[in-house]
Amino acid sequence: MSGSNDAQALSDWVTAVARELGLEAVDGSVVDMVLDLTADVAHGVSRPGAPVTAFLVGLAAGKAADPLVAARDHAEAVKALADGWDRS
Protein backbone atom coordinates (compact mmCIF):
# COMPACT_ATOMS: atom_id res chain seq x y z
CA MET A 1 0.00 0.00 0.00
CA SER A 2 2.78 2.44 -0.79
CA GLY A 3 0.34 4.50 -2.88
CA SER A 4 -1.71 5.49 0.16
CA ASN A 5 1.49 6.10 2.12
CA ASP A 6 2.73 8.34 -0.71
CA ALA A 7 -0.57 10.21 -0.76
CA GLN A 8 -0.47 10.75 2.99
CA ALA A 9 3.19 11.81 2.87
CA LEU A 10 2.37 14.31 0.11
CA SER A 11 -0.61 15.66 2.05
CA ASP A 12 1.47 16.03 5.21
CA TRP A 13 4.29 17.69 3.26
CA VAL A 14 1.99 20.18 1.50
CA THR A 15 0.35 21.08 4.82
CA ALA A 16 3.74 21.63 6.46
CA VAL A 17 5.10 23.72 3.58
CA ALA A 18 1.94 25.84 3.39
CA ARG A 19 2.18 26.48 7.13
CA GLU A 20 5.91 27.30 6.87
CA LEU A 21 5.22 29.80 4.07
CA GLY A 22 2.30 31.41 5.88
CA LEU A 23 -0.26 30.22 3.33
CA GLU A 24 -3.81 29.16 3.98
CA ALA A 25 -4.54 25.46 3.86
CA VAL A 26 -4.06 23.98 0.41
CA ASP A 27 -6.73 21.51 -0.60
CA GLY A 28 -6.31 18.37 -2.65
CA SER A 29 -7.73 19.92 -5.81
CA VAL A 30 -4.87 22.42 -5.89
CA VAL A 31 -2.33 19.63 -5.46
CA ASP A 32 -4.01 17.67 -8.26
CA MET A 33 -3.93 20.76 -10.50
CA VAL A 34 -0.19 21.20 -9.97
CA LEU A 35 0.51 17.50 -10.52
CA ASP A 36 -1.54 17.49 -13.72
CA LEU A 37 0.18 20.63 -14.98
CA THR A 38 3.66 19.32 -14.30
CA ALA A 39 2.82 15.96 -15.89
CA ASP A 40 1.59 17.69 -19.05
CA VAL A 41 4.75 19.79 -19.29
CA ALA A 42 7.08 16.91 -18.42
CA HIS A 43 5.57 14.62 -21.04
CA GLY A 44 4.79 17.16 -23.73
CA VAL A 45 7.57 19.72 -23.49
CA SER A 46 10.49 19.00 -21.19
CA ARG A 47 10.90 17.07 -17.99
CA PRO A 48 13.03 19.79 -16.32
CA GLY A 49 10.48 22.33 -17.51
CA ALA A 50 7.80 20.91 -15.22
CA PRO A 51 8.96 22.31 -11.86
CA VAL A 52 10.07 25.56 -13.47
CA THR A 53 6.63 25.94 -15.04
CA ALA A 54 4.92 25.31 -11.69
CA PHE A 55 7.15 27.98 -10.14
CA LEU A 56 6.30 30.47 -12.90
CA VAL A 57 2.57 29.80 -12.56
CA GLY A 58 2.91 30.37 -8.82
CA LEU A 59 4.75 33.65 -9.33
CA ALA A 60 2.12 34.88 -11.78
CA ALA A 61 -0.75 33.77 -9.55
CA GLY A 62 0.79 35.46 -6.53
CA LYS A 63 0.43 38.83 -8.25
CA ALA A 64 -3.33 38.41 -8.68
CA ALA A 65 -6.09 39.63 -6.39
CA ASP A 66 -7.28 36.02 -5.98
CA PRO A 67 -4.19 33.83 -6.36
CA LEU A 68 -6.08 30.53 -6.28
CA VAL A 69 -8.39 31.50 -9.13
CA ALA A 70 -5.45 32.94 -11.05
CA ALA A 71 -3.41 29.76 -10.51
CA ARG A 72 -6.21 27.67 -11.99
CA ASP A 73 -6.58 30.04 -14.94
CA HIS A 74 -2.83 30.14 -15.55
CA ALA A 75 -2.56 26.35 -15.25
CA GLU A 76 -5.29 25.92 -17.88
CA ALA A 77 -3.55 28.36 -20.23
CA VAL A 78 -0.18 26.68 -19.79
CA LYS A 79 -1.74 23.22 -20.24
CA ALA A 80 -3.17 24.38 -23.57
CA LEU A 81 0.24 25.75 -24.52
CA ALA A 82 1.92 22.46 -23.58
CA ASP A 83 -0.70 20.42 -25.43
CA GLY A 84 0.08 22.30 -28.62
CA TRP A 85 3.83 22.46 -28.12
CA ASP A 86 5.82 21.39 -31.15
CA ARG A 87 9.21 19.94 -30.27
CA SER A 88 10.61 20.31 -33.79
Task: Tell me the pLDDT tens digit for each residue of 29-41.
Answer: 999 999 999 999 9
> Is residue 1's pLDDT more than 70?
no
Task: Tell me the pLDDT tens digit for each residue of 45-57.
Answer: 999 999 999 999 9
Residue 88 binned pLDDT confidence (cut-offs 50, 70, 90): low
Q: Are the beta carbons of 57 and 75 closer than 8 angstroms?
A: yes
Chain-wide mean pLDDT for the chain? 92
